[in-house]
């Protein structure tokens, strides 16, 4: 950009390798993703060729070890990827986010060696994963899920419906949570690895959404879906622990999506303000616009520091749950505020699809809803402050 704004935290926050990696991802986002954004948004689907390129660059397997054909980088590198992609298209950002922070991490931490050997190379090279916890009656109250898993010889038979599954239409490998015994409450919840081709499994309705439209959000239908016992993720009854721990990491990923989105909106607003003229001069010469841009930039920088602080804590194996909740809460609010202000800088043009401001604004709202609403983040923060 010509605005002189450095789209990153202070250089000392990142190693030389991380900076080079960021530049690679940024170039890919600008050259390969940006030309497809409008078409993908209108069609409500991700370009298949672009998905293949994401795999070829190793962006779908950032933390997966090399022995499973992954990139074997750190969690912060995954956050860098999500931010850079989201600055151009938050739909691509969240596809990569779910793959890396939820699905791949769950397999690496909780999967048996047999599961890791079977599925991680596929997730690293060709197959998209999805994470399925929510149901129509269990959103914030995630452990009120009704999907059941009945033991039958060498398998478990799953029945139920899942909702709001990101990557649902594109994925071939699913982590599905179901209860093996409802009388045990959350202690009956178990994670299962389900393949798209398993008998009794199907993808249902694809949601027609306000924003992040290229990212598929679908219903999953399980009707006597037979899953081999060796596809249990972790242990029987430990699904609640898997869900909680993976979502804590995922919330940092959503934070990265939100700061990427906010940064993209800010950059567009700065550029437009230097092109648009009113009363005989560029609108960037008006103090009201300058102050608005300055406030937006400050909010973005504060949010970015929170994201990378949480990511570094996670990489250092230090406690990060409170910081992840704070990050998710603050970045989602920041993204909406900045996207809204960016739209206002464009004036009437910002309300049209001719310019990118309206898409950033539409895409921003989801940050306060998925992977734990803002109120749920506040509950987590308060609980940890008062414990």
Q: Does one domain contain both 273 and 374?
A: yes
CATH number (domain holding residue 353): 1.20.140.10
Q: Of the residues 83, 249, 323, 371, which is catalytic?
A: 371
Q: What is the distance between the alpha carbons of residues 112 and 165, in angstroms, rounded to a whole number?
A: 24
**Mean pLDDT (whole number) for 102-113:** 98
Domain boundary among 78, 106, 128: 128
Residue 372 in domain: yes
Do 117 and 136 fall into the same domain? Answer: no
Using 50, 70 and 90 to split pLDDT, how confident is the model at 9? very low
In a domain, 5, yes or no: no
pLDDT-derived band at 94 (thresholds 50, 70, 90) equals very high
For the chain, state the CA radius of gyration: 21
Q: What is the pLDDT of residue 155?
A: 98
Q: What is the pLDDT of residue 13?
A: 76
What local confidence, expressed as pLDDT, does residue 248 receive? 96
User: CATH number of the domain that 179 lies in?
Assistant: 2.40.110.10
Boundary of a domain, candidates 89, 104, 128: 128
Range of the domain at 251: 241-386
Clarify whether residues 16 and 116 are in a common domain.
yes
Stretch (H or E) spanning 361: helix 357-364
| Residue where the block lists tokens 């860098």 | 80
**From 9-18, 196-205, 331-340, 360-369, the region with the lowest mean pLDDT:** 9-18
**250 and 377: one domain?**
yes
- Is residue 371 very low, low, confident or very high in pLDDT (cuts 50, 70, 90)? very high
Residue 378 has pLDDT above 70, yes or no: yes
User: What whole-number percentage of the chain has pLDDT above 90?
Assistant: 95
Q: Where does a domain end: 69, 95, 128?
A: 128
Residues 341 and 220 in one domain: no
Same structural domain, 379 and 273: yes
Query: pLDDT tens across 181-222, in order?
Result: 999 999 999 999 999 999 999 999 999 999 999 999 999 999
Are 121 and 30 part of one and the same domain?
yes
CA 142/CA 62 separation, integer angstroms: 28
DSSP string, 205-260: EEP--SS-TTS-EEEEEEEEEEEEGGGEESSTT-HHHHHHHHHHHHHHHHHHHHHH
Identify whether 3 is part of a domain. no
pLDDT > 70? residue 66: yes
Q: What is the pLDDT of residue 139?
A: 87
* 81 found inside a domain: yes
Q: Which two tokens stand for residue 20?
A: 């080079």
Spell out the residues 6+ positions from residue 6 whose beta carbon is closer than 8 angstroms to its own: none
What pLDDT does residue 11 have? 45
Count structural domains, the chain: 3
Q: How far apart are CA 94 and CA 111, in angstroms?
A: 23
Same domain, yes or no, for 373 and 265? yes
Residues 316 and 374 in one domain: yes
Alpha-carbon 51 to chain mean position: 15
Cβ 135 vs Cβ 147: under 8 Å: yes
134 and 213 co-located in one domain? yes
Using CA atoms in the order 220, 226, 232, 235, what is the torsion angle rounded to 10 degrees?
100
Query: What tens digit of pLDDT does each residue of 245-292 get?
Result: 999 999 999 999 999 999 999 999 999 999 999 999 999 999 999 999
Q: What is the pLDDT of residue 14?
A: 87
Residue 321 lies in a domain: yes
pLDDT at residue number 79: 98
pTM: 0.95
The CATH code of the domain that includes 117 is 1.10.540.10
Judgement on whether residues 204 and 324 belong to the same structural domain of the protein: no
Judge whether 350 and 344 are in contact, CB under 8 Å: yes
Alpha carbon 245 to chain centroid distance? 15
pLDDT confidence bin for 12, thresholds 50/70/90? low
CA dist 130 and 123 (Å) reads: 10
According to the model, what pLDDT value does residue 5 have? 44
The predicted pLDDT at position 123 comes to 98
Is residue 178 within a helix (H) or strand (E), and if so which, with residue range?
Answer: strand 173-179
What angle in degrees, to the nearest 10, is found between the helix axes of 357-364 and 239-273?
A: 160
Does 51 reside within a domain?
A: yes
The answer to whether residue 2 sits within a structural domain is no
Shared domain check, 152 and 95: no
- Would 156 be classed as within a structural domain? yes
| 323 in active site | no
Q: Contact at 8 Å (CB) between 341 and 296?
A: yes
């Amino acid at each position: 950009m010509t605005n002189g704004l450095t789209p990153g935290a202070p250089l000392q926050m990142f190693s030389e390798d991380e900076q080079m990696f960021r530049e690679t991802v940024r170039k890919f986002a600008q050259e390969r993703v940006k030309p497809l954004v409008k078409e993908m948004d209108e069609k409500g689907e991700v370009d298949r060729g672009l998905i293949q390129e994401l795999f070829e660059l190793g962006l779908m397997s950032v933390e997966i070890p090399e022995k499973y054909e992954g990139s074997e980088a750190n969690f912060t590198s995954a956050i860098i990827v999500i931010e850079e992609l989201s600055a151009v298209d938050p739909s691509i950002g969240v596809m990569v986010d779910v793959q890396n922070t939820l699905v791949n991490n769950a397999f690496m931490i909780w999967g048996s060696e047999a599961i890791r050997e079977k599925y991680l190379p596929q997730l690293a090279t060709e197959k998209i994963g999805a994470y399925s916890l929510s149901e129509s009656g269990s959103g914030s109250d995630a452990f009120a899920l009704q999907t059941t898993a009945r033991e039958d010889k060498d398998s478990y038979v799953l029945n139920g419906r899942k909702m709001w599954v990101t990557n649902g239409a594109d994925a071939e490998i699913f982590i599905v949570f179901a209860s093996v015994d409802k009388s045990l409450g959350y202690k009956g919840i178990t994670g299962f690895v389900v393949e798209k081709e398993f008998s009794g499994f199907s993808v249902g309705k694809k949601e027609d959404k306000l924003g992040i439209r290229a990212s598929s959000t679908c219903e999953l239908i399980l009707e006597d879906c037979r899953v081999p016992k060796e596809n249990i993720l972790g242990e029987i009854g430990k699904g609640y622990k898997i869900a909680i721990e993976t979502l804590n990491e995922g919330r940092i990923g959503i934070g990265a999506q939100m700061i990427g989105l906010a940064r993209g909106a800010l950059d567009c607003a700065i550029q437009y303000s230097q092109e648009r003229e009113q009363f005989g001069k560029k609108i960037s010469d008006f103090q009201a616009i300058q102050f608005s841009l300055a406030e937006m930039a400050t909010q973005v920088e504060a949010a970015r520091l929170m994201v990378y602080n949480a990511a570094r804590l996670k990489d250092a194996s230090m406690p990060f749950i409170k910081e992840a909740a704070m990050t998710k809460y603050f970045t989602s609010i920041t993204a909406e505020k900045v996207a809204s202000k960016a739209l206002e800088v464009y004036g009437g043009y910002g309300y049209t699809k001719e310019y990118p401001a309206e898409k950033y604004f539409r895409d921003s709202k989801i940050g306060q809803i998925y992977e734990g609403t803002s109120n749920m983040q506040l509950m987590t923060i308060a609980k940890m402050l008062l414990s």
